[in-house]
Structure 1
Amino acid sequence: MRTSEVVAGRRILVVLHSGDDVIASLAEACRRHGVAQAAVTTFSGAFRRARLIAASEPPLDPEVPLPDSVEVAYTEGVGSGTVTADEAGGHAVHIHVALGAKDRSGRAVAGHLLAGEAHYVIEIVLEEILAPRLVRRPHPDSHGIAILDVDDAAESRR
């Protein structure tokens, strides 16, 4: 386990409209408002389509990260996540969602959002994180997946 006190900054409201790209819009909202990193504290709305890291069938080994993705259409749901700086100077948006499919009586799918298009509206609140500096790096227990961490060098300069 790793803990760190967070220094919060501004709250930014983002309202996505029909056809908006979810990941690109969140990165653009951060760029537009000068937000380097944030927590996604509120995320709810309707997707026309969404692609998630998930599985159609139960995995053979539940310890190993899922290698596949699924695409779902016309869903509504909730999520949360983080936005961090990426190595190219942009933003890495990491969102997990739980979505219920409208045409399946709300049957749910959940996972890491790879791509999504807003349907009616998606409402998001970003909570700017001023400190510590957040990074994503592989962890020995993560099977090579980069996970959220605190930049030790930046933390020791505080």
Structure 2
Amino acid sequence: MRAAELTMGRTFVVHFDHGDDFYTALAEFCIEHDVRQGFIPMFIAGMREVQLVGTCERLDNPDAPVWSAVHLENVEAIGAGTLAYDEESNVVLPHIHVSVGLKAHSATAHTSHLLGAKIQFLTEVYLVEVSAPSFIRTRQPAMYDVPLLTFGES
């Protein structure tokens, strides 16, 4: 287990517009407001299309991460995640999970890691900046090279 006491920074509500790319809009917001790390306790969204981690194929190793995508259209979503800063590439690295309901299929739900999305009508994101400690994603070679959140110096 890892833990760190957080020093909070600013708190935002961000509205993504119809047709926006979710991750592009999030990156633009982070640049414009100089947000490098934090967490998204919740967002609500209408999405024209989403790509989630998933597969319908039999898994050779059920313990290994799945890297393929499932494409869904016309969904309502609720999600949350974290933002870590990568100094080497000078970008914010989001880690977002969502639950989405297919509107045309009795709101049948899917839950997974969000790979990409296009906004339909709106997305309202609540974002809390973390001032300290630093959030870093460190790849774990012994765990299929998955980048895990770690904490740097305060």
Please tell me the TM-score bracket, short chain as reference: over 0.9
Separation in 2, partners of 1:58, 1:122:
34
Are residue 25 (structure 1) and residue 19 (structure 2) matched? Answer: no
Deviation readout 1:59-116 (Å, 9 max, x if unpaired):
3532111131111000011111111212311211211111011121111111111111
CA-CA distance at 1:148 after TM superposition: 0.8
- SS where residue 34 of structure 1 aligns? coil
Partner of 1:85: 85
Q: Which runs of at least 4 in structure 1 moved beyond 6 Å after TM superposition?
A: none
Check the 8 A contact 2:75/2:103 in 1, yes or no.
Answer: yes
Distance (whole Å) between structure 2 residues aligned to residue 103 and residue 123 of structure 1? 22
Identity over the aligned pairs, expressed in percent? 32
Question: 1:124 aligned to 2:121?
Answer: no
Higher strand share: 2
Contact 1:21 1:116 in 2 (8 A): yes
User: Normalising by the residue count of structure 2, what TM-score does the alignment of the two structures yield?
Assistant: 0.92
The answer to whether the 8 A contact 1:40-1:125 is kept is yes
**Structure 1 residues 67 and 35 mapped into 2: Cα distance closer, same or farther (>3 Å)?**
closer
Aligned-residue Cα RMSD (Å) equals: 1.5
TM-score normalised by the chain length of structure 1: 0.90
Q: Indicate if the aligned counterparts of 2:74 and 2:103 stay in contact, CA closer than 8 A.
A: yes
CA distance in 2, matches of 1:44, 1:3: 28
User: Could you tell me whether the CA contact under 8 Å between 1:16 and 1:122 is conserved in 2?
Assistant: yes
What residue is the counterpart of 1:75 in the other structure?
A: 75
- Gaps in structure 1 of 5+ consecutive residues: none
Q: Which residue of 1 aligns with 2:95?
A: 94
Cα separation, 2, equivalents of 1:118 and 1:16:
7
- 1:8/1:128 contact within 8 Å kept: yes
Indicate the SS of the match to 2:24: helix
Matches within 5 A, 1:3-152: 3-57=3-57, 59-86=59-86, 87-139=88-140, 142-151=143-152
Q: Distance in 2 between matches of 1:123 and 1:142?
A: 34
Q: Is the 8 A contact 1:54 1:110 kept in 2?
A: no
Higher helix proportion:
1
Give the stretch that moved more between structures: 120-129 or 77-86.
Answer: 77-86
Task: State the aligned residue count.
Answer: 153
- Return the alpha-carbon distance in structure 1 between the equivalents of residues 17 and 73 of structure 2: 16
Residue deviations 1:16-52 (CA, integer Å, cap 9, x gap): 1110111111111111111111101121111000111
Q: Is the 8 A contact 2:83 2:135 kept in 1?
A: no
